[in-house]
Structure 1
Amino acid sequence: MGDGILDFNWKLFAQRVYQKAKSVDIFVNAMSLVYTTLLSLVPLLIFSFYIMTLFNIFGGMERIINALKGIILENLATGTGEIVIRYLENYVTNVDITQLGVISFFSLVIVIVFMLARIEMTFNKIWGVEEHRDIFKRFVAFWTFVTLGTFLITLSLSLTISVISSYLSSDLIEVSTGNTYIFRFISVVSYFLIFIVGYYLIPNTDVEPLAAIVGGSISGFLFNLAKTLYKVYTKYAVGYSQIYGSLSVIPLFLVWLYLVWMITLLGAVICYVFQNRSNLHHFNTLQDITIGIQNIIPIAILVVICKEFMDRKSTGITFEGLANKINIPVEIIEDNIKGLMAENLITITKENRYIPITTLQRISLWEICELLLFKQEVSVKEIFADEEVCGVYASLKDELRKRLKGLTITDLLDEGC
């Protein structure tokens, strides 16, 4: 295993991470998420802290919550001193969620769901997933994430404090050194867990646990490093305070949020590239592939599926096997597979293997081209205003029909294609 790690082309891996981060423009997306965070940060904190107060199972929850508040608010407002922390704490503690009306409560929930949905859309963009969760599934998933996640954190923390305190025969919360070390440890571990769980669950696609662990671990490390360095910078840099005066905490807070989202999105990119590490040498974007190759990709996928179906006696081919034979980004393969399945040319078995849906002798190359290449949502006359151009298009299409109509996938395979 050690040899495998040493033999891994880390230089190429870093290059692909840079290319992917640039192609999805994580800098712009991080700015967008900063704006979304500003709108939904206070509602999320209000709701999360309220849920914590509902689970006073082992007692002493008020002190635990106060300690957690300090950790959470400090990490959100790193480098901004006490001002932003005090403002956030005032907003959170002065709102009694039980006194809110129905409309205000659901407005609070909608803002939280909106933020999580925006995060999901950004992650899906990194993973090349065009299909997002529908509104109902998104609401249920995010509601569960916020409520159950907060409950589990509170429960685990309560159990830890209760058990350790009983063994030490003292109230651990009252011991300042214990309070410091335990909450620091929980704080650091939680960074890694939040990133790992987020990378695994948020994208609307299957993510390898190992890829989520790698991306989450790197993000957790970068977050801790950035937090330390940013504290040092804001302590000794006086530029912002000289320019903005008492308002200097605002740009400092915004810059910190931007750094957090940059680290988060970079970790998601690392997670994506690591999952596709076997395809690093052919890690191109769709823009790097010519139009001619793009048009022939669905035919190439169909040929590989049919060939595998013939060679392996009806067992079909897995997605991983298909990706190893066609060296293009996996999201492009996924999109073309969806198109082939929508046209009833292939299907997937219970064993997650792709097979042709009809006899190979009946799959005409012209039918494939007509379905996948010449299928238009609008008529040709609406595209080409010149009648002569329409005539040229019709002639080319007719000539192609004559050449391909009698040709099947089997004919190509028999000729050695």
Structure 2
Amino acid sequence: ETTSFTIETIIKLVNNSLEHAKGGVFAGIGVILLLYTVILLFSDIENSFNRIWGVKKGRSIQRRAVDYFALILLLPIFAVLNYSLTALIQASTGPFDKFSYILDPVVTQVLNFLPFLVMIITLTLLYRFMPNTKVKWASALIGGIVGGVAIQLFQMIYLNGQLWIAKYNAIYGAFAAIPLLLLWVQMSWFIVLIGAELSYSAQNVRKFSFDRETKNISRRFRDFFTIMIASVIVRRFAEGETPLTADQISMKCKIPIKLTNDIIDELHKLQVILPTPTPDDDRVMAYQPALDINLLTVNDLIEQIDKEGSEDFLIDVEGDFARHWNALMHTRMSVYESPSDIMLKDL
């Protein structure tokens, strides 16, 4: 009996150890998957904001680790605080109803405004720091106010609707909980993107001239703007001046900011220019030549633009379509080898 008791005790200890070990492993895997999901979510949010702001390059891995860790710590606090305040205020049996006869009307209004304030602060910080570019506080605040108020109003409607359905019918309320939650998430994200668009518009309102025309810009005018931007960057370098950012180039050349960013990205891919962090904010890039400025000419730039991209197609340019190809190349070579070639630094 003693031996049997000892064996049973040992088996129980082993089973308990295995259960704890499995629980720890599963918990660790769960935490890793959760962190991975959160990082992917923040990455998608950053990419969406970067597209709105016309930023082609995201944060570095080191910068993402620091910024995302800060968001993981702060955003849940703001979210729980906002949701709790909204639920307490919206609930008919909330603490503010019990003591409303004691609280001063002004204090009551302040308490009712707190959820709006929390949401406005949250979105303002998100619009200010999430895009991989410099966003002015005033621009971020405009988007934060509009987006924060809109999300808070929609959240109040969502909570009231959820409570009403639950009171009306417990079964239908349980079935409606998930669809209503998904609707709230979808609409909240839609409002966040609208707020980001407003922040971008507020900061770049003076740069929207001819913005509609840039979507249907002609080939030669795009080449003209490309030469203009490249020459500005090269001349700044030749004169020993500090390199300009995309915003500064946009203002100097009077070109819409989105078109400026597109052309700068094209010049970077052609390895004509290189980005360099600005002293004030390493998220904001200035641009300088990547090649010897004494070798950068208008003809060479046009030739590089023409050759950008893939030419790997199943077509015989030396067979049935040789005449078409030769006609094009004859026209192009007359430009590439023009004797009146001009240096970009001399423009």
Deviation at 1:387, TM superposition (A): 2.6
**CA–CA separation in structure 2 for the residues paired with 1:199 and 1:266:** 11
The 1:306/1:377 distance shift into structure 2, 3 A limit, reads: same
The corresponding residue for 1:204 is 132
Q: Mapping of 1:143-162 within 5 angstroms?
A: 143-150=69-76
The 1:367/1:220 distance shift into structure 2, 3 A limit, reads: same
Of the three residues 4, 21, 35, the one matched with 1:109 is: 35
8 Å CA contact 1:365–1:405 kept in 2: the answer is no
Q: Mapping of 1:45-84 within 5 angstroms?
A: none
8 Å CA contact 1:365–1:404 kept in 2: the answer is no
Q: Does 1:142 align with 2:68?
A: yes
Of the three residues 278, 281, 286, the one matched with 2:206 is: 278
The 1:253/1:149 distance shift into structure 2, 3 A limit, reads: closer
Of the three residues 180, 196, 218, the one matched with 1:268 is: 196
Deviates more, 1:118-127 or 1:227-236: 227-236
| Runs (5+) with no aligned partner, structure 2 | 1-22, 82-94, 280-284
SS in 2 for 1:133: coil
Q: Mapping of 1:309-328 within 5 angstroms?
A: 314-315=240-241, 318-319=244-245, 320-328=247-255
**CA–CA separation in structure 1 for the residues paired with 2:316 and 2:50:** 32
Letter in 1 for 2:332: K
Q: Mapping of 1:124-139 within 5 angstroms?
A: 124-134=50-60, 137-139=63-65
**CA–CA separation in structure 2 for the residues paired with 1:228 and 1:175:** 17
Q: Does 1:371 align with 2:300?
A: no
8 Å CA contact 2:54–2:261 kept in 1: the answer is no
8 Å CA contact 1:298–1:372 kept in 2: the answer is no
Deviation at 1:190, TM superposition (A): 1.2
SS in 1 for 2:127: helix
8 Å CA contact 1:366–1:404 kept in 2: the answer is no
Deviation at 1:136, TM superposition (A): 5.7
Of the three residues 399, 402, 406, the one matched with 2:334 is: 399
The corresponding residue for 2:121 is 193
TM-score between the two structures when normalised by the length of structure 1: 0.57
Of the three residues 243, 250, 253, the one matched with 2:178 is: 250
Letter in 1 for 2:271: E
**CA–CA separation in structure 1 for the residues paired with 2:152 and 2:132:** 28
The corresponding residue for 1:295 is 223
Deviation at 1:339, TM superposition (A): 4.3
SS in 2 for 1:213: helix
8 Å CA contact 1:305–1:316 kept in 2: the answer is no
8 Å CA contact 2:147–2:195 kept in 1: the answer is yes
**CA–CA separation in structure 1 for the residues paired with 2:218 and 2:202:** 26
SS in 2 for 1:407: coil
8 Å CA contact 1:306–1:356 kept in 2: the answer is yes
Deviation at 1:290, TM superposition (A): 2.5
**CA–CA separation in structure 1 for the residues paired with 2:28 and 2:261:** 43
Question: How many residues are paired up?
Answer: 294
Letter in 1 for 2:305: L
The 1:248/1:277 distance shift into structure 2, 3 A limit, reads: same
Deviation at 1:150, TM superposition (A): 4.9
The 1:136/1:383 distance shift into structure 2, 3 A limit, reads: farther
**CA–CA separation in structure 1 for the residues paired with 2:335 and 2:341:** 11
Q: 1:70-102, CA deviations, whole angstroms, 9 ceiling, x for partnerless residues?
A: xxxxxxxxxxxxxxxxxxxxxxxxxxx989532
TM-score between the two structures when normalised by the length of structure 2: 0.67
Deviation at 1:235, TM superposition (A): 7.7
The 1:198/1:98 distance shift into structure 2, 3 A limit, reads: farther
The 1:148/1:231 distance shift into structure 2, 3 A limit, reads: closer
Q: 1:112-159, CA deviations, whole angstroms, 9 ceiling, x for partnerless residues?
A: 22222222222222122232335564344323321255579999xxxx
The 1:106/1:194 distance shift into structure 2, 3 A limit, reads: same
The 1:282/1:151 distance shift into structure 2, 3 A limit, reads: same
SS in 1 for 2:308: coil
Task: Give the % identical residues.
Answer: 21
Q: Mapping of 1:228-243 within 5 angstroms?
A: 228-229=156-157
User: Between Structure 1 and Structure 2, which shows a larger proportion of helix residues?
Assistant: 1
Q: 1:231-285, CA deviations, whole angstroms, 9 ceiling, x for partnerless residues?
A: 6677889xx98xx785233333222222211211100000111111221223337
Deviates more, 1:192-201 or 1:340-349: 340-349
**CA–CA separation in structure 1 for the residues paired with 2:316 and 2:66:** 43
